Structure 1
Amino acid sequence: MLLGVGGGTAWVVSGGFGADSGSGGGGGSAAAEPKEWAVPFVNADSSNFDASIGFGTWMSDSAAIRAQKDGVLAYDLKTGKRAWGVPSPTDNLCGATSEIEGGLGAIAYGTEAACDHLAGIDVKTGKLTWKIKIPAEPKSRLTMNVPTLLLAGDVVIAKVGNSVYAYGLADGKKLWGGSPADGCRPDGLGGSAEQLVVTVDCGVGSHVSGLDPKTGKPKWRSEIAAEGLSHLVLSAKPAVVATTSGDSTTVEVVDESGKARQFVAGERIDLLALNGENFTDGEYERYRVALHGNTLYLATFPENVPGKLRSRDYALAYDMTTGKRLWKSTGTNDTMLSYVRADDHGLLALETGDRRDLAPRLVRIDAATGKATALAELPQKYGHEGEKARVFEKNGAVVIMPPKAVAADYAVVSVRTAAQ
């Protein structure tokens, strides 16, 4: 079922994607829950991607939620119908927390000149719960400088330039703020309820620190042994930092005392941002990474598929205690993998497919062997949609939300499967 663009709601999105739900698909009564529904990007066939950029893609208990330049929209997971929509307080929504916590998230907004406000949002109702002004970097000639936003439990973390600030998720109250020593800058960030993990680049020498999210007080510090242009935080609990230099990636795992152990991945690893933007600078970046227990799941760098207009990769599993590579995935089709989550059974992933000739598949990659087992096949028309998307699965429903309308036709796709 494709969702039509129409009125009947408090506001209408200005050209980013379908703003309201429609009916149809699969026959049956209008009240029946569709097996699939999708929200098309209105501008998927144009070069104007600005309004479609998804700064936040979230899933609550009942809705798929997308924050874009002019506001936030929620779609009922069962029916695809519009649950709620709230416009940006200004014409320029310019950021969103990477996750939601306890039914709450936060968005950033401002003017075309500066992204200088935060607001809390209740994802059950769409109500903005608080609004505050925050420091901002001025717009450069070609890009908008936006805050790096993430959650550390019930604390909103915002990195603005060389400073890091913390605000209460419930009320927006400022908790602390600060900057590293002169000559240093915060680089990668990762958050959990227990700690905020920050990598700090000082030009000559870098380190990673664990901070108390509510106070900003240091809990531990560890020097980063590997050298590279950037030190990415892949996880905050445990603290996992990746440094890439050329084709080599070094992973460092830091315990709660600041003691680090490191290993070299041994293959060229894909740590390209899935949601990188040409028009903004500072947005929190997502990577093709998953963790569960003591296992870290990475992905090989994409390689071209001969005779096809697509790429493929493989999942890699590492023991974070020994640094030993456990396996390289087998049994997957020649396409890219988008990681959904990891658990005791292994890695749940979406084979993204190709709308021309290969249907996407939901697969489970076994924790012990790396062998993939197909759980469900999605319609071929959704091939490529998941390549850089946030992909969720809940009770057999696969929800795909790409960051923008580049190589993607739909802002949201939901397909109910029989997967367990």
Structure 2
Amino acid sequence: MSFGPPPSLYTQSSVAADQRRRKRRRTVLLCAVAAVVAPALAVGAWLWWPGTASDDAKPTAAPAQHRLDVRETVERRPASTQGVMAVRLSTDDLPPGEAHEMPGLWATDKILAKGINRTLVGVAIGTDAGLGEEAWKLRLGGPICGKTRHVTVENRTAVLFRDSADKESLCNHVAFVDLDDGKLVWQAEFPVSGYVDKPDAGSQWDPGVTLTHATVTVTWGDGTDAYDMDRGKLRWRVTSREDCISQGAGGGRALAVRFRCYDADDPQSRSTFEIRALDPRTGRSRWTYTPAVGVKDVRIISTTPTVLATSAGDVGITEIISLDARGKYRTTIPLQGGAYVAECTDEITYLATEECPSLAVGAGQVFLTSKEQGDLIHNANWIIGFDLKTGHSVKKFESGPNTLLRPLRMSGDRLLALRESSDRISPMALVSLNPRTGAETPYFYFSLPQEGELFSTTEFADTVVQNGRLFFGAKEAQGPADADSKAWVWLAFGIESAAAKKP
């Protein structure tokens, strides 16, 4: 396998118009060296940032899991810190002025999966594929309108899709999909509700989807539905109160549903929220937590333990709230007027109650990033862990000069993070941070060209770490602005250690 020069992410590049020259360029791409990761690898084997130390202790082993559990994998330090391209999906067929939404990014040990408008595609690890060269392709009945980051131990996940190819049709179907082979395990239709008697897509309460043990849960406004993972049979339905709508849920080891409540006699009154923990088997409520009046938004960062991100202002998360196993308040961690950053996915298009890509919860802490210090090139930040019982800071991981640190996810009792290079001299890296000792361990170094730098931002791309690989996927793909030019666009790609074993 080889990968050629990196195409542009959102910018246009001149490509030959006739089919013969396009085929020739494709051949050259596949036969060239992996230039995307070549820069900085010469220094990647020895380059190190101030204040870091290797952590040779083995991370906690992955928990024993049932096949229908939401997967919790523990990544291991690879034998080589040299990063190489593992997989890529790109295209040069987007018409001028055309844009496609690309919701969802998932990975297994064999496949990188991506949502593209109304289609799910799977690309085999170790391949450089264009559209039409995927390992599998699953076309849904309409555009994807809801997704979850969760994947089961059997490498299955769920998406929501619209009633027809019309982007303005109702979002009222759920599909459960096998990511290894692209097979539709089952699909089901769920009700819709809205703030008018006969809701259309413009007045429909946004539905959401998540996964817990053996259960796919859909919130659709006037109710919450739970489906059996194996058969797609409706297990239970919890109907919302007249003055509260179910608006998103958090999954994983447990299930928590967010409700937005309002005064039915006064539609203009300020809404409030409730977080309810439901039994995934029966739908029965285990506890209810009500944030303070005046909170304008609530996100469910984690369900075990329960950690919420709340917004008391007009824009952005202002504090983190920790609850105990019975839903009782434990502590509040204020973001100190922006000194710490909590970014959550925009919910205008997809109801993503539990997707906050700049936060991670584990080892009894919530990990936040500080506000960036410096300018666009010479900048720095740090990740700090806050104790979920006391709210006090515990460990601080500094990025060092001209780099930024971003939490990705927990891996056992370690925090996986992305080191982003801002000066284009230092390489980027996937690293493991030990919350107990403060040690940092590099997994592999890599570098991206200028055209691919948007992939490292949460605004433009999704990021997944799975089976020793780091994956990036664009949230939107755009064709060239000029009708006489073509754009070679990256849709998704993955980086791995040079010592990685191929599937």
TM-score (norm 2): 0.67
Match of 1:197 in 2: 256
Aligned to 1:383, the other structure's residue is in SS state helix
What letter corresponds to residue 241 of structure 1 in structure 2? L
Q: Which sections of structure 2, spanning at least 5 residues, go unmatched?
A: 8-28, 35-82, 194-198, 263-270, 479-487
Tell me the equivalent position of 2:55.
none
Is residue 208–residue 247 contact of structure 2 (8 Å, CA) maintained in 1?
no
1:337-416 alignment runs, 5 A limit: 337-343=405-411, 346-353=414-421, 359-368=427-436, 370=438, 372=440, 374-381=442-449, 382-388=452-458, 389-394=461-466, 396-405=468-477, 410-416=490-496
**1:316 aligned to which of 384, 390, 393:** 384
Label 1:298 to 1:417 Cα distance change in 2 as closer, same or farther (>3 A). Answer: same
Residue 469 of structure 2 aligns with an amino acid whose one-letter code is A
**SS of 1:129 mapped into structure 2:** strand
CA deviation string 1:260-313 (max 9, x = no partner): 202223432433334x365x2535552111122212112235x475254x9865
Structure 2 residue corresponding to 1:107, chosen from 155, 159, 164: 159
Counterpart secondary structure, 2:31? coil
Q: 1:45 to 1:3 in 2, by over 3 A?
A: farther
Indicate if the aligned counterparts of 1:352 and 1:361 stay in contact, CA closer than 8 A.
yes
Correspondence for 2:33 among 26, 49, 60: 26
1:168 aligns with 2:228: yes
1:273 paired with 2:344, answer yes
* Runs of 5+ consecutive residues of structure 1 not aligned to the other structure: 6-21, 28-33
Give the secondary structure class of the aligned counterpart of 1:58: strand
What SS does the aligned partner of 1:135 have? coil
Q: Partners of 1:85 and 1:319 in 2: how far apart?
A: 44
Post-superposition Cα deviations, 1:173-229, rounded to whole Å, max 9, x if no partner, equal: 111223332322334521134x31123333465432211112110112233247410
Which amino acid is the alignment partner of residue 265 of structure 1? P
| 1:124 counterpart = 2:196 | no
Aligned to 1:350, the other structure's residue is in SS state strand
| Structure with larger RCO (C-alpha < 8 A, sep 6+) | 2
Larger radius of gyration: 2
Which of residues 182, 202, 222 is equivalent to 2:289? 222
Bigger Cα displacement from structure 2, 334-343 vs 256-265: 334-343
Match of 1:261 in 2: 330
Partner of 2:497: 417
RMSD: 3.7
Instruction: Name the residue aligned to 1:77.
Output: 125
Q: Is the 8 A contact 1:57 1:65 kept in 2?
A: yes
Alignment CA distance shift 1:219-1:395 (3 Å): closer
Query: Post-superposition shift, 1:116?
Result: 1.8
Q: How many residue pairs align between the two structures?
A: 392
User: Given the two structures, how large is their TM-score scaled by the length of structure 1?
Assistant: 0.79
Q: Which moved more, 1:372-381 or 1:114-123?
A: 372-381
How far does residue 123 in structure 1 lie from its aligned partner after superposition? 1.6
Q: 1:285 to 1:232 in 2, by over 3 A?
A: closer
